[in-house]
Every structure is written in C-alpha cells, then in structure tokens.
Copies of this chain bind each other. A is one copy, B any other.
Amino acid sequence: MKKTTLLLLALLTCTYFAKAEDGHELWLRNKSATNVNIQTAKKSPVLDIAINELKKGWLGKNDAKLKFEFSTDASIKGDGFRLERSTIKAKTDLGILYGTFEMLRRQYLGKADENFSSNPSYSRRILNHWDNLDGSVERGYAGKSIFWRNDQDLTISQADRELYQLYGRANASVGINGTVLNNVNASAKILTAPYLKKVQAIAGILRPYGLKVYLSVNFSAPVTIGKLKTADPLDAQVRKWWADKAKEIYQLVPDFGGFLVKANSEGQPGPQDFGRTHVDGANMMADAVAPFGGIVMWRAFVYQTSEQDRTKQAYNEFLHYDGQFKKNVILQVKNGPLDFQPREPFSALFGAMNQTPVMPEFQITQEYLGQSKQLAFLSTLWEECLNSDTYQKGKGSTVAACTDGTLSKNPLTAIAGVANIGSDRNWTGHIFAQSNWYAFGRLAWNNQLKSEDIADEWIRQTFLDAGEKAKDQAFVKPVKEMMLESREAIVNYMMPLGLHHIFAEGHHYGPAPWFANTKIRADWTSVYYHKADTIGLGFNRSHTGSNSVEQYHEPLRSKLDNLATCPEEYLLWFHHVPWTYKLKNGKDLWTELCYRYDTGVQQVRTFQKTWDKVHGLVDEERFTAVQSKLRTQSRDAQIWKDACLLYFQTFSKRDIPYDIERPVHDLEALKKLTKSKSYE
C-alpha cells in the first residue's frame, strides 16, 4: 500500500472509533440515504409523523413511490396494517404510522420486499411509569423521572419536548399506544390543576405518536385534595367528585386513556377501607370515565397479612367478582402470583375469569433481575408466561389466548409493562435494558413473536448498520445467544429450581436468603418463601401444603401437585423437597442446587467472553459500558452463589461438591455486605 492509502485507512479507522454512540438513539439509528415520494390523500399530525419518519429513514430505492391507502380490507383490524410493494394500507392514521415503522424496520433489517400484514394482539399496549412527582422513580435504575421534577417546576423545556418526541417515536416504532405517567403508588396531587395542565401538555406532544396518556390515581383523592370527609365509593358526593374530576381531565385531554388503580394493596387506600369491595371501587371510577370512553385498570396485586399463602390471595379475592365489573374495567394481573420474580409459574387468575377481562402486567424494569447492573433479556420470561397453558378452555388456552380476546371475545384487551425508562442519556441505564422496552412493545403488538426474532431485530437496529450482514457470525449470533440465555443465567445464580423472593430487604438486588424479621409481615421475609430446614428446601403448595395448586385447572393442577411430575423449574415453588431427593438427572437436590448456582456464575463469565470478543465490532463507548456492567454482574453472580450455597449449607450440612469452584466470601461478611447502602 502507498503511504497515502495508509494514511487514509488510518483516518477512516479513527473516524470509525470516534463515531460515538451513547445509546440515546435507541434502536432508531436509521438515516436515509435515498429519497422517497409519498402519496397521501389525507393530512394529519399522525401522518405527518409517518411522512417525516419515511424521509428520515427510507432505505429503499431512490425516488421510489409510496402510497398511504385507507382500506376497508376485513383482514386489517384496529390499528393494524398491510404492506405491499409500494403501499401502506391501514384503516386508521395510526395503522399507517405503525406500517411505516414496520416498513422501515424491514428495510433496515434487509428483509425481502414482500407483502406483509400485521394486526395488534392487544388493543391497549401501555407503559406504566412508576414515576413519583418528586422526580424519583420507584424501582427505577436509569436516573430520574423524565416527566416530573417537583411541585415547583412543572414546566416543559425544549429539551423535555425533544425527549418526549423521541420517547413517542420509540414507542410508536414498536406499537406502544398508551402510557401511565405516574407511579401506581400514587400521589393524589396528580389530579390537581397544575399537574393536569402538565399532563395536557405532555399528551399534546405524544398524541401524534399514537400515545394516549393515563394516570394512576389514589383512592383517597376525594379526601386528600377534594376536601370530602370520605372516599367511600358508594357515597354520592364521592361519586360526583370523581365524575367531575373525569370531566375536568377530559376537557384538558379529550383522548385521555383512563385510570390505573392500586387499591387496598401494600398500604394503599381502597374501597375496603370503607367496608366496600374492589367491585364497588372500580365500578365507581368506571362510571366516572365511561361517558368519555375511558377505562379503569384495576390492579389485582393484593395480599393481606394473613395465614393464607400470599400467592393464593389475589385469586381468592377476585375470582368471585367475575362478571360484576363494569364493561370498561379490566383487571391488571402480574405475570406470576407473587411479584415479578426471575421465574414464577403464571398467575392462576389468567385462566380463572370468564367474563371480566384480564390484562397481563409485565415488569420491564429489572427490579428482581439485577436492575440496570445486569444483562437480562426479559422477552424469554414474557414469552414463557404468554405461552403457558392455563387449560381454562382445554389445551391451548394459553395466557396469551386468555388475555388477547381469542378465548373471551372481550373487546377490551390490554397489556401493561412497568417502564425501565429514566433520565439517563441511554434511557435505561444498561444498553441491553433497551431491548426489554423494545421486546415489550413487540410482544404487546404481537404476542406470538419469538424472543429469538425480537433479539435479532433489536441487535441489528441497535448495533449494526442497515442491512449489514458481515457481522452475522461474529456479532449477531453470539450476542443473540447471550441475550437468550441471560434470564436463565440469572435464575441459576439467584433462584434456581423454583426458589423465589430470597432478596435482600428493600433494594431487591442482592441475596439475603437469611432475611427474617419478626417485626414485619412474614411474607416480606425470605425464610417465609424458601422454608429451608434440615429436611429440605421449598414451599409446600401441594395439596398437603398451602394447596395453591388448586387454583390451576387440570391436568396442570395434578402435574404441579405431584413431586414426580412437577416441572423442575418450579420444584421448590410447589414443594418442600428433601435434600436427598433425586432429580431427573440422578443428582440429589443439594448437589443439583450447587451445580445450578455454579452454572449461573459460569454463564455470566461466558457472557463476558462473548462480549469481549466483539471488541472492535461495536463502537467503543457502548462496548466499554456493557463490558463494565458485565464485570459487575460477574462479581455479583458470585455473591449470589456464595450467599445462597453457604446459607443453605447451614441446613443441608453437606459439602459443596469438590469439582465446583469454592465460595470466595464468608457468609457473615455477605450478610453485612448486602445490607450496606453501597451495595444497592
């Protein structure tokens, strides 16, 4: 090579490495190199967005012609669409916008230019922001709230506006069409005029992106801010207060989505405080918003301090209300019966309600899966839940089918995801946590998508150039494998074989299987859940125990109830298993537990190798950020393994098999460490 060529190469290399990518653009990194001519018979803000996206991101033939076509085709449903060679067909403006994003995505991914139709699985696909009005985010690990700062500052800056626009684009690109702007542990202040004015402004910015805003409301609001003496849902004044409040909101935000309510749950007020039922409470609010087309999402996440197994309570509380709720009420049910653990069986409520619609609540923010310090692609978790068979109406009655209208034919369908979004430049704290926002949207749109395909799409849009195929083997394949394995690795090093909720108190990051405290409710401690003793480990929920299995339909009920047939990934969820019990692979429980924990640690080390090997195939900034997070994860996986094995060993009284790497921490030191503020 000549010297000048070398110099040029050197310069190009510098440019390459200098191409800073901080993750702020998410999976929306497409930049058009060609022109497109759009033909549309209609104008609207939503369509303007679509046109703008096409001009910014068009990767098809230069000067190609593209037509927006409003169709009455019966195969297109709701905001669905159909892509043909040079046409985007839809029934609604939003259908055109979603079709636009799909077309651009297919171009970016280098997919063949063939006809493609898609309709949404759920009519409402909603983010739940657990954002407090003081700017903090409950279970948020990516900075502060993007919506709220404090009572004194309810302004929207130009930077805010641009942030909300990008937020709108990102959500629209994956089909999310609703957002709850505040924490379910709600401050009543959100319903006061200054806050509603800001809600109006935010709604205005998000509207062209197809995002409806919703609010979490506090059941006591009529007392707290309304100066009434009661919040009794059967009280006429209370009912009027909510009706007036709804009217006030709809005057500001005509397409307001509705209310999300956490009532009589973990200390939140609710109708039971006034001797009323969840039905009374939910229906009162439903009546208030019904005239304007609003809905009420009533959370089923309730449990009392009682002798009853916590995982049974929501089902027992709500089952007998089936059919008593107003038509615009939907029950919002967490994927598992406990609380967003690394692995839970599905909540029996999904297969229980015949008339009242139920919507899944997934947690995108990784409260229990390593927060934004660890790499956990949650699509596999959600896919597992959606594909779980409830047997409600025979084989094939999956959670997906029970909630998306397939089985119930209920027109109100919805799905919620607790957002992992904050003010961090990269939105989600961990670059790979962006994939969970993406995956939630994609699964909410199409609950039959495969995690593998979602990961593939996300990786290419996030890290590769448009249509790039050269890195398939060296980058896409190993990174995808890492993502698909990531949640299982966490299950292994945190809570294998059906263990659950043995987290450190409060922060829910590190391990504290030893956590016991007689001063708080038992079901907020770890020992309540693992029930380790000299005999064995696990919570007996079979018919000889709490009998939570009875909430499931046959043949699943018997399968779970029987130690021999219970899937091993749920073994310690449903059974108290002797340390010496032989698992399917011939190892006894203690031995297998040791191997599982160790496997989890080894998996994270493999992730580190996987990522280190792609050095140079991705920009340095994001490479280093992810590398650093994986190092933390590796250390913390070791802490989990050591803490759990050393603690459970005090019951099993068995040695850790000697072919397994030894713990590098002392149990007592870990008890101190995981309590310390610096560890959170």
Contacts and interface: CB of A to CB of B under 8 A. Distances in A.
Given A612-B656, A655-B612, A655-B615, A661 B605 contact: yes
Contacts of A605: 661-662
Interface string A609-640: 10011010000000000001011101100100
Given A609-B658, A612-B658, A655-B612, A664 B628 contact: no
Nearest to A642: B631
Contacts of A608: 661-662, 664
B628 A662 contact: no
Contact of A635 (B628, B658, B665): B665
A244 interface: no
Interface in A592-619: 605, 608-609, 612-613, 615
A680 to B, nearest CB: 16
A78 interface: no
B628 A666 contact: yes
Q: Is the interface of A mostly helix, strand, loop or mixed?
A: helix
Contact of A631 (B609, B615, B631, B666): B666
Interface in A623-680: 628, 630-632, 634-635, 638, 655-656, 658, 661-666
Contacts of A613: 658
A662 B631 contact: yes
Q: Which of A605, A609, A655, A664 has the most B CB atoms < 10 Å from its CB?
A: A664
A497 to B, nearest CB: 23
A462 to B, nearest CB: 22
Contacts of A634: 662, 664
Contacts of A612: 655-656, 658, 662
A211 to B, nearest CB: 38
Interface of A: 605, 608-609, 612-613, 615, 628, 630-632, 634-635, 638, 655-656, 658, 661-666
13 contacts: A605-B661, A608-B661, A608-B664, A609-B662, A612-B655, A612-B656, A613-B658, A630-B662, A631-B665, A634-B662, A634-B664, A635-B664, A638-B664
Given A631-B663, A631-B664, 8 more contacts: A608-B661, A612-B656, A612-B658, A612-B662, A630-B662, A634-B664, A635-B664, A635-B665
